[in-house]
Amino acid sequence: MANIEEQSTGVIHAHNERLAHDIDNYAEVLKDAAQADAAEHNMSLRDAFRIHKKAVFWSIMLSAALVMEGYDVVVIGSFYEQPAFLKRFGVVNPASGNKLIPAPWQSGLSNASAAGGIIGLLINGWASEYFGPRRTYIFSMFGLIAAIFGPVFSQSLTALVASEVVCGLFWGVFQTLTTAYASEVCPIVLRHYLTAYINMCWGFGILLSSGVVRATLTINSDWGWRLPFVLQWIWPLPLALGAYFAPESPWWLVRQNRIEDAERSVRRLTNEELYSKDDCKRSVANMIHTTALEREISSGTSYVQCFQGIDRRRTEIAMMVFACQLLSGENLIGQGVQFFVQAGMGTIAAYDLNLALNSMFIIGTVASWFLLSRFGRRTIYIGGLTCMSIVLLIIGALGFHSNEAAKWVSGGLLVALNFIYNATLGAVCYVIIAEVGSTRLRAKTIVLSRCAYQVMNIVCGIIVPDMLSPTAWNWGPKCGLFWFGVAGLSAVYCWFRVPETRGRSYGELDILFENKVPAWRFAGTKVDQFNIGGTHSPAYPDEKRSDTSKEE
């Protein structure tokens, strides 16, 4: 364990002498790391973009995989009311005589990619650390090219479900790899913009899928549902070529003890005219120091280590933050078309309103950038959950009214719900999970958090179709009352467990977690991760050390 002590100044100081045996030229590395950390904390947004614009470009380019995934994963849910899809795969509803996709098959189709995604996520957690993010990304793109043949040529619901499982294996890789890469190539002042941008990529894909399915409504043949699947082949090859030329993550290279390669990677990610070779060296020194600090605090990089010691708390927070995305009632948004139809709208009107609904992924993410520049991650996340629970309560209450105005108001509120979600939870979730895990275990922590999301997605994929289906529970908008209660409880959990990570370096976060600082005290606690002067002082002068040690 790293020896981190406290005294009377209200600052947590790290006792770094034990790191000397892990780092060659320790004094020089510590000095360089401190200078790099100070420069990063003091960097303005304008200077950060000028210096790191190449890193911004590569992060945006690799994150485009989530545009592809947002399109691919969501497009299947848009088919449940599409005439051509119902003609091929639907069964007759005895009550109405119309064709529909039964709720169990809707659950199977919605959960198939999630089930495959869990396997892909776990593979990525190992592969991206062993082979590196770039090679894992490229291999998965070529695997996806082959997997897309399945849904394009499926002739039965069984074959379509199996195809979605196989595609999900590769989609699972991109769900977390891009988040980790974005968090590792950019400085603190840009980190929240690029990790939140990942949510916008999902939004682009979801909006694109809505538009494509809307455009194919008038195609009565199998091409009405097959064409949206065929368009999935547009993405993989260009993205694989882009990844081939992208710089490798310098943090991963440091963990592989490839220090010179890490410095070259930093040079490729920065503006050589504004960021010298010495600056690159100091930046890598900070990575070396942070990595050594984490190894001293807790050794190991396996999935088991994610649930041991202080990493257990960090993993729990990441998993719950991602799971709360669905516990907030967001899953109703994914079933938007069916929600609108069950609220009493016609098919064309439902698909038109679904376009407005999905545009909120982009508009909301842009709004999140303004919120993130003014407020902390914890404040935005808890505030978002609270606002969503209120909107869900109103939607649920409107479910008891069957007039035309109530139908359109509940539809409009679902659009508002999606805006709130993307301005808060949807975007800020990616920022929190990118920051809350240790750098050694970041890929695996993000993988486990996304697995928690996928497990919750499977649960929601089972119960939400039943909530909305006229042949099952048939709750319609009344299900907002259920999600109101769940979202409210999630907000209470986040108040006690989710810490404030805004403006913190990864080394500072390591020390805060090591000292078991309560979530609500993260923002106000000062940290000296380098302690070059050798001072040792406590975070809480009026409290005993044992008080904070109770926080797990």
In this structure, of 54-58, 188-192, 276-280, 347-351, the range with the lowest mean pLDDT score is 347-351
In this structure, of 76-80, 98-102, 269-273, 422-426, the range with the lowest mean pLDDT score is 76-80
Q: Residue 420 in contact with residue 391, Cβ under 8 Å?
A: yes
Closest of 263, 260, 256 to residue 283, by C-alpha: 263
In a domain, 522, yes or no: no
Higher pLDDT, 450 or 218: 450
Which tokens belong to 518? 């309560």
pTM of the model: 0.81
Per-residue pLDDT tens over the stretch 214-263: 788 888 888 888 898 899 899 899 999 999 999 999 999 999 999 999 99
Higher pLDDT, 547 or 371: 371
| Distance of alpha carbon 494 from alpha carbon 509, whole angstroms | 18
Per-residue pLDDT tens over the stretch 243-257: 999 999 999 999 999
In a domain, 374, yes or no: yes
Scanning 64-187, the segments in alpha helix (DSSP H) are 65-75, 83-89, 103-130, 133-147, 149-152, 157-185
**At 385, which amino acid appears?**
L
Q: Give the model's confidence band at 6: pLDDT under 50 very low, under 70 low, under 90 confident, else very high.
A: very low
Q: Residue 235 in contact with residue 462, Cβ under 8 Å?
A: no
Per-residue pLDDT tens over the stretch 21-32: 667 787 888 889
Domain holding 425: CATH number? 1.20.1250.20
The total domain count for the chain is 1
- Three-state SS string over 274-290 comes to CCCHHHHHHHHHHHHHH
Q: Give the model's confidence band at 5: pLDDT under 50 very low, under 70 low, under 90 confident, else very high.
A: very low
In a domain, 434, yes or no: yes
In a domain, 524, yes or no: no
Q: Is the pLDDT of residue 336 over 90?
A: no
Higher pLDDT, 467 or 240: 240
Give the mean pLDDT of 364-372: 94
Q: Give the model's confidence band at 300: pLDDT under 50 very low, under 70 low, under 90 confident, else very high.
A: low
Closest of 453, 475, 479, 380 to residue 421, by C-alpha: 380
Per-residue pLDDT tens over the stretch 38-56: 999 999 999 999 999 999 9
In a domain, 143, yes or no: yes
Burial of residue 270 (number of CB atoms within 10 Å: 0-12, 13-18, 19+): buried
Q: Residue 235 in contact with residue 201, Cβ under 8 Å?
A: no
In a domain, 26, yes or no: no
| Distance of alpha carbon 418 from alpha carbon 240, whole angstroms | 31
Residue 410 CA, chain-centre distance (Å), reads: 28
Residue 341 burial (CB count, 10 A): 20
For residue 221, what are the domain limits?
Answer: 38-497
Q: What's the confidence (pLDDT) of residue 298? A: 65
Instruction: Determine the angle formed by the axes of helices 404-421 and 377-398, rounding to 10 degrees.
Output: 170
In a domain, 7, yes or no: no
How much is the mean pLDDT over the chain? 85
In a domain, 551, yes or no: no
Higher pLDDT, 469 or 507: 507
Which residues touch 180 (CB under 8 Å, ≥6 apart)? 128, 133, 249, 434, 442, 443, 446
